[in-house]
């Protein structure tokens, strides 16, 4: 059986699939050519990440297809319910990249509170002529320890964010309509372990009390956070979106950054990927990465092997 990993797969996943007897194809096929390619090559399994979309046209037109796999968490680029109605297996790897996304959240947070995102732009340009001025501009950073972090969406990724926050000495304010309480286990390198019980709270209480807010929910067709929600927040709040573009309204975020209501933001995802709004890209209070939350070598290895295990179990 042939597996097309159209958006790539780690070598660990390829090796595991080939050991199980599958032929793995890592060609990147353009979206408009995908139906023909799958049919011409009798593809049994299609693996994607965020670039390739698997909609009804592919599901209806490709009779050889038995499985669709998403390397990562969100499956908004796949018509999941329709595929399952048609008898296809649809799988993902929800836990494999959680730690990587959480670390990126804090990469943005640390960079934001010490202005690294802006300093790294200006030091190469003006560091030799405006050193003292830049030192003054970036000399009003703040510490994370003792601050309150709001985590909206307290699933796997949200809980990984909480682990880092607790280790940093922050207070965790979590909201999740499907979870009332969660136990967060901190495992240390020497075998020691600490456990914390986190009770979730109303989302309005997160907005009103958090110094920083990070969102870990799927896009639901409209922004979760827009002008109304931003107005509930503390002045100088920091916002982070490493979930999906559009969860935070970009236009309202830009207005809040301009007015000073929001001090800075960290974005790994954008509304118009892969061509983000230029106004967003040019705003100096935003720390930006190009949707790389799950893009660590360790996460990709875990994703590859988890996909391989599921595929072998379902198709063999």
244 is catalytic: yes
Name the catalytic one among 49, 216, 244, 263. Answer: 244
Q: What are phi and psi of 265, to 5 degrees?
A: -140, 155
For the stretch 77-84, contacts whose Cβ atoms lie closer than 8 Å and that sit 24 or more positions apart, written own/partner, are 77/48, 77/50, 77/52, 77/53, 78/48, 78/53, 78/54, 79/54, 79/55, 82/56, 83/54, 83/59
Judge contact between 239 and 225, C-beta under 8 A.
yes
Distance separating alpha carbons of residues 264 and 15, to the nearest angstrom: 43
Judge contact between 233 and 257, C-beta under 8 A.
no
273 is catalytic: yes
Please tell me whether residue 305 adopts helix, strand or coil conformation: helix
Name the catalytic one among 159, 291, 302, 306. Answer: 291
Bond preceding residue 294 cis, omega within 30 of 0: no
Name the catalytic one among 180, 258, 273, 298. Answer: 273
Judge contact between 141 and 163, C-beta under 8 A.
no
Task: Give me the sign of the Cα torsion angle 29, 82, 98, 277.
Answer: positive
Q: Which residues are catalytic?
A: 244, 273, 291
């Amino acid at each position: 059986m042939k597996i097309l990993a159209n958006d790539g797969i780690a070598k660990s996943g390829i090796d595991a699939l080939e050991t199980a007897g599958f032929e793995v194809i890592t060609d990147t096929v353009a979206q408009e050519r995908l139906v023909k390619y799958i049919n011409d090559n009798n593809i049994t399994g299609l693996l994607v990440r965020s670039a390739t979309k698997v909609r009804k046209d592919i599901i209806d037109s490709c009779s050889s297809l038995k499985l669709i796999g998403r390397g990562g968490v969100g499956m908004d680029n796949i018509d999941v319910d329709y595929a399952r109605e048609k008898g296809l297996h649809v799988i993902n790897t929800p836990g494999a990249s959680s730690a990587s996304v959480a670390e990126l959240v804090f990469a943005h947070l640390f960079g934001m509170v010490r202005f690294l995102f802006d300093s790294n732009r200006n030091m190469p340009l003006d560091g030799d002529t405006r050193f003292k001025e830049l030192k003054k501009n970036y000399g009003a950073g703040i510490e994370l320890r003792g601050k309150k972090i709001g985590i909206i969406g307290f699933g796997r990724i949200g809980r990984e964010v909480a682990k880092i926050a607790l280790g940093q000495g922050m207070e965790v304010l979590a909201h999740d309509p499907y979870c009332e309480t969660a136990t967060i286990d901190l495992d240390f390198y020497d075998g020691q372990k600490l456990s914390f019980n986190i009770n979730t709270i109303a989302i309005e209480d997160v907005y009103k009390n958090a110094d920083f807010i990070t969102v870990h929910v799927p896009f639901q067709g409209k922004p979760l956070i827009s002008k109304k929600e931003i107005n509930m927040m503390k002045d100088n709040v920091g916002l982070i979106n490493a979930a999906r573009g559009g969860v935070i309204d970009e236009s309202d975020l830009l207005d809040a950054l301009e007015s000073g209501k929001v001090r800075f933001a960290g974005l790994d995802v954008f509304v118009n990927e892969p061509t983000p709004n230029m106004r967003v890209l040019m705003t100096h209070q935003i720390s930006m990465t190009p949707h790389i939350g799950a893009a660590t070598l360790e996460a990709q290895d875990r994703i590859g092997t988890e996909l391989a295990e599921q595929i072998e179990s379902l198709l063999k």
